[in-house]
Amino acid sequence: MALEFSKPLSSHTTPIPGVVLYDLPVHGDNRGWFKENWQREKMIDLGLPDFRPVQNNISFNEKAGTTRGIHAEPWDKFISVATGRIFGAWVDLREGPSFGAVFTAELDASQAIFIPRGVGNAFQTLEDNTAYTYLVNDHWSADAQGQYTFLNLADETAAVQWPIPLSQAELSDKDKAHPRLAQVRPMAPKKILVLGAGGQLGKALRQVYDGDTSVEFVGRSQFDLACEESFRNMNWKNYSTIINAAAYTAVDTAETPEGRAAAWAVNVNAVARLARVAVEHDLTLVHVSSDYVFDGTLQAHSESEPFTPLGVYGQTKAAGDAVVSVVPHHYILRTSWVIGEGNNFVRTMATLAQKGIRPSVVNDQVGRLSFAQDIAAGIRHLLDSDAAYGTYNLSNDGEPQSWAEIAADVYELTGASRDDVTGVSTAEYFKGKAAAPRPLNSALELSKIRAAGFSPRQSGEALTAYLK
């Protein structure tokens, strides 16, 4: 079979999600031929995942009819023929609706195919002295074979039509002993790791991902962000994404010497470790930020506004954002006035209303509540939709309000009188108290998150549902 020279680089989708067949540019003359087997920039522009290969392996087969597979390895592969010709068969062995899907094709030296982790691949050589190469994004080891998923080459469900009958082909005894599809345990997807699972956002993420076994939740007792050993003990190859829902949030205590050290340890030093892990293992890092990275002099804050933090807490959150921003695959979710399960402003006001207490509440700090349920839903939306990486503002929607106005809403919704709430200035409220400076305007522009397909609930609707 003669090579077709001067074909342009092109891609062809297949019935298996993520499996893509490529025509490679091959240039030839009377001396032979030359091909661009792997060209990262061009192939990424064409849509090939930037899977960061680390090892290249070659399989040489002396005789036509040599048949290998069906093996699903725990890494991605870019496979191409070096010499000769093969018949390839690929079967989806991943958990999910495409489990069992089959694709077959003949490949020569002018073609290549990308096979994602968990898709079983097999080859039958059609010519003597055939060699093909594997470009993979993990280092092969004998231990890794325990993570393989196998399917019998003769499986009746996949029903691969081998050009050379298996009875006449060269097979290994191991390949002959692989299970049929009904006995195959599908390869589980890489996991999402949620840090800070015991906090308000962590609890909301548990609800959003309820029943999803691919999401792992860990609290401080299982993973201490301040402990280097926690990072060393994790097998990061098993994860695709880290959601960092942990943070130091004691705004006023952060102004003390002890609090300053603790805030920097959790909000910056630990985040730097997470960023390093994400870069080294090509993970997506989801990080939750705060309106405190701004000084509040603007009426509303966009994602591109420069940092102008007023206090230590805001400084540590801004530093954490800067660190995360260098991770190639990152989402920074900037929130304000978070309300979730546990102690928070809304719960406090509802309790005061029930006790008949008439509080004084700050009326010159303006913003929107961010219910943890909506933040969690927004995070899942960005991940599920493969939204563009970057920073997104995410609070609830609606007209910005002061703390005093929100407190009055809580009083009214719990059956008390709005007039029981008295508004006072920030300066008056904190007079004689040790307190961190606070931004007076915390409203976040939400156009970017809406453009990504996520519409946060109106604050009033969310507050009513929360109090019920």
pLDDT, tens digit, 9 for 90 and up, residues 48-74: 988 889 899 999 999 999 999 999 999
Final residue before a domain boundary, out of 133, 164, 183: 183
Q: What is the CATH number of the domain that holds 98?
A: 2.60.120.10
399 and 262 co-located in one domain:
yes
35 and 109 co-located in one domain:
yes
Count CB atoms within 10 A of the CB of residue 354: 12
Catalytic residue among 22, 132, 134, 248: 134
145 and 197 co-located in one domain:
no
Question: Is 434 among the domain residues?
Answer: yes
Question: Is 306 among the domain residues?
Answer: yes
32 and 133 co-located in one domain:
yes
208 and 90 co-located in one domain:
no
CA pair distance 78, 208, nearest whole angstrom? 35
Q: What is the CATH number of the domain that holds 246?
A: 3.40.50.720
Identify the pLDDT of residue 7. Answer: 76
CA pair distance 244, 130, nearest whole angstrom? 48
Amino acid at 401: Q
Identify the pLDDT of residue 462. Answer: 96
Assign 3-class secondary structure to 62-98. Answer: CCCCEEEEEEECCCCEEEEEEECCEEEEEEECECCCC
Residues in contact with 313: Cβ distance below 8 Å, sequence separation at least 6, in sequence order = 248, 249, 250, 251, 254, 263, 267, 290, 292, 436
Q: What is the pTM of this model?
A: 0.86
* Lookup: tokens for 192: 């999402």
Question: Is 225 among the domain residues?
Answer: yes
CA pair distance 176, 166, nearest whole angstrom? 10
CA pair distance 70, 91, nearest whole angstrom? 8
Question: Is 2 among the domain residues?
Answer: no
151 and 263 co-located in one domain:
no
Write the DSSP assignment of 187-247 as a string of letters. BPPPEEEEE-TTSHHHHHHHHHTTT-TTEEEE-TTT--TT-HHHHHT--GGGEEEEEE---
378 and 461 co-located in one domain:
yes
134 is a catalytic site residue: yes
Give the total number of structural domains in the chain: 2
Give 238: exposed, middle or buried? Use CB within 10 Å, 0-12, 13-18, 19+.
middle
259 and 380 co-located in one domain:
yes
Identify the pLDDT of residue 176. Answer: 95
172 and 254 co-located in one domain:
no
Question: Is 318 among the domain residues?
Answer: yes
Question: Is 5 among the domain residues?
Answer: no
**Of residues 413, 336, 411, the one with CA closest to residue 371:** 336
Residue appearing with tokens 């890494």: 75
CA pair distance 172, 149, nearest whole angstrom? 16
**Host domain of residue 377:** 192-467
Question: Is 256 among the domain residues?
Answer: yes
Final residue before a domain boundary, out of 183, 212, 244: 183
315 and 398 co-located in one domain:
yes
Classified as helix, coil or strand, 57 is: strand
Check: CB of residue 73 under 8 Å from CB of residue 46. no
71 is a catalytic site residue: yes
243 and 134 co-located in one domain:
no
Question: Is 3 among the domain residues?
Answer: no
Residue numbers of the chain with a pLDDT score lower than 70: 1-6, 141-146
Catalytic residue among 12, 22, 27, 71: 71
- Tens of pLDDT along 341-397? 988 999 999 999 999 999 999 999 999 999 999 999 999 999 999 999 999 999 999
178 and 281 co-located in one domain:
no
Strands in 20-23's sheet, in edge-to-edge order, are 10-13, 20-23, 111-115, 77-83, 130-136, 55-61
* Lookup: tokens for 356: 């008949």
